[in-house]
Structures are given as structure tokens and as C-alpha cells.
Amino acid sequence: MNSTPDAERIFVDKQSPKAYHALVQTAEAVRSVAAEAGLDRRLVELVNLRVSQLNGCAYCLHTHTRAALRAGETPQRLGVLAGWRDADLYTPAERAALALAEATTAPADLSARDTAYAAAREALTEDQISAVIWVAITINAFNRVSILSGHPVRPEH
């Protein structure tokens, strides 16, 4: 639950639309880079979701769960994403991307970062490694916008 009442929150995306628009443009460029690198849309959404799980961003989890389902992701794989290391549902490339996304989200863990990077080198091209890192950087930024703004997730009827 938010410790600051919603009425006191500033939606920073609305308050500073030029900055938010620049972030949206960055996200569009990153989507293009990911597609050009050959990353499947489902993988991009898995990265978006895993980073959003780590950051606890309910709004982005809601948004990207729907996007992942539209892209053809399965409910089973989405349901166990938080435990991806213990589920034999993900390809080596997906595992490498998820580890790299986690390392991008928490870069201070040098050991995890080095391990993730080594695994990425085994399973992904340099263009794909770069794209995954950019996807993770971008969703981290959107997570912070939504979390600090208190963007609500409303029940769907």
C-alpha cells in the first residue's frame, strides 16, 4: 500500500510531459533495436516483466502481462517467471536475457553481473546483449516513473 495518499502524489509523466515523451521515444527506439537484433517480442516482454517484478511496479506488471499475452506468451510461463531459474520452461537465450536483465537492475552485485554477462555471451549475439540491456534500462526507468507517481492498477470488469 502506498504510504503517501494518492491525492498527494504527482504523476511525474503528466507534470513533466517533455521528459516523459523523451522516455517514450527512447522506449520506441529500444523496441526497434530489439527487433533488429532478432529478439522475439515475447522475450522483450519477459524482460519487462522480470525487471518490474524485481522493482515491485504493479502498474508495469499489469501493462506488460497483457502485452506478453498479446505477443503469444503462455500463462504458465508468466506465472512462474519469478522462479525462472527453477523451471525448465525457458530457453538458454531467455535464461541468459533474464539473468542479464536482473544484473542490469541490480548492477552493484558484481558476481551476478559477471556470471550473467558470461551466460549472455554464450547464448546471445552482441546486438542482442546490447538490446536486452537497453530493454532493462528502459523498463527500470518506467518502473520508477510509475512507482513514484503512484500509478494505479484498477480492477478490470
Task: Output the pTM of the full model.
Answer: 0.94
- Region 16-149: CATH code: 1.20.1290.10
Amino acid sitting at position 58: A
Which pLDDT tens digit goes with each residue over 107-116? 999 999 999 9
Q: Kindly report the CA angle at 33 between 32 and 39, in degrees rounded to 5?
A: 95
Q: Inform me whether the pLDDT recorded for 103 exceeds 60.
A: yes
Which pLDDT tens digit goes with each residue over 30-49? 999 999 999 999 999 999 99
Kindly report the length of the chain: 157
Annotated domain spans of the chain:
16-149
Q: Which whole-number Å values give the CA distances from 109 to 100, 102, 105, 106, in the listed order?
A: 12, 10, 10, 6
Q: 72: alpha, beta or left, given left = phi > 0 and alpha = psi -120 to 50?
A: left
Q: Would you state the cell numbers that stand for residue 91, as one nine-digit string? A: 530457453
